[in-house]
Structure 1
Amino acid sequence: MDRSIKAVTALLLGLAGAQALAADTDAQHRLNELLGSDPEYQETWQELVQDESRLPEWVMNLSGPAPPMKAVEDEGDKYLVGGLCEAKNCFSQRLYVAFSWNKDDVWALYVQLPDGLPSDKSPSRHASYRWLGEPDEGVRHILDEQLKADPNWY
């Protein structure tokens, strides 16, 4: 019995280590580099934006400053989630994206603020929000949480 407990413990520790490694690997991806790194991401993103109208070039191409992406799990579903902004107007033009773990689906939240918003105005009260890809409630929550995690968002 003692051997089986050790074997189970070793297995669980191995799985935990593998998950931690996977999480570290995911953090190496940045949204602005994703399309060039994997044709599956590029194909899925292009399918989404081809059906959308009036998107700026930086959104279409996912170009702009971007922090590391992260793996997010919600009710058993796993997503690769990240954000980026327009290089010349990072505060007022933001995009948050969630790819399904299998790379078959993608959804996004495009957030815009009016030009010249005074610093004493709450950005969340003046923003316009545009959902791309018809995300369900769970994905909307994930993307909304990414926005709310920004220390400059209130």
Structure 2
Amino acid sequence: MTRKPLHAVALTILMSSSAMVMAANDGQSRVNELLSSDPQYRQTWSSVVKKEERLPDWVINLSGASDQMTAVTEKGDGYLVGPLCETQDTCTSKRLIVAFSLDKKDAYAMLVEVPAGLPADKSPTRHADYRFLGKPNEGIQALLREQLKKDPNWY
């Protein structure tokens, strides 16, 4: 008789701990919400942008249109990665791909700018300017590029 409640308690604990792990990695974070969600994100991002010149305000403040972020790994290290656009309408020509380490101590980004008015038959990949922020190594640069390639409108 006592085993049923014990099993039920064990099952409840197991299910709730699994749910907590999934919630921590469910992609519900958005780039444009990070700086207000945790002071550590703000501090880390501030240290990245203070070393850069001539960044637009939407990049400095991580404000604009954003999709959900995803958790990815690079050489065993976990990162929360996601896109940010100046506005939804300008996403084709101005976007930022951001990666924060899961411990929130490191941040990297790739600012992608395509000339405004690029004809639809021209590949944005070939005409884009890429600027890396936070001094990412080659592995992180590849991670950021891969995230950009996941966009079906990027060719």
TM-score normalised by the chain length of structure 2: 0.85
Q: CA deviation at 1:20?
A: 3.2
Q: Which position in structure 1 is the counterpart of 2:64? A: 64
Q: Which position in structure 2 is the counterpart of 1:114? A: 115
What is the distance in 2 between the residues matched to 1:31 and 1:38?
12
What is the distance in 2 between the residues matched to 1:153 and 1:22?
29
Percent of aligned pairs sharing the same letter: 55
SS of equivalent to 2:118: coil
What is the distance in 2 between the residues matched to 1:20 and 1:141?
26
Note the residue ranges of structure 1 that are not aligned, 5 or more in a row.
Answer: 1-9
What is the distance in 2 between the residues matched to 1:151 and 1:18?
31
- 1:23-70 per-residue CA deviation (whole Å, 9 max, x = no partner) reads 22xx11100011001000001001100110000011111111100111
What is the distance in 1 between the residues matched to 2:46 and 2:24?
26
Equivalent residues in 2 for 1:33-48, closer than 5 Å: 33-48=33-48
TM-score normalised by the chain length of structure 1: 0.85
Of 7, 20, 35 in structure 1, the residue corresponding to residue 22 of structure 2 is: 20
State the AA in 2 paired with 1:36.
S
Aligned residue pairs: how many?
141
Equivalent residues in 2 for 1:2-151, closer than 5 Å: 19-24=21-26, 27-87=27-87, 88-151=89-152
Q: CA deviation at 1:21?
A: 3.7
Task: Tell me the C-alpha RMSD between the 2 structures.
Answer: 1.7
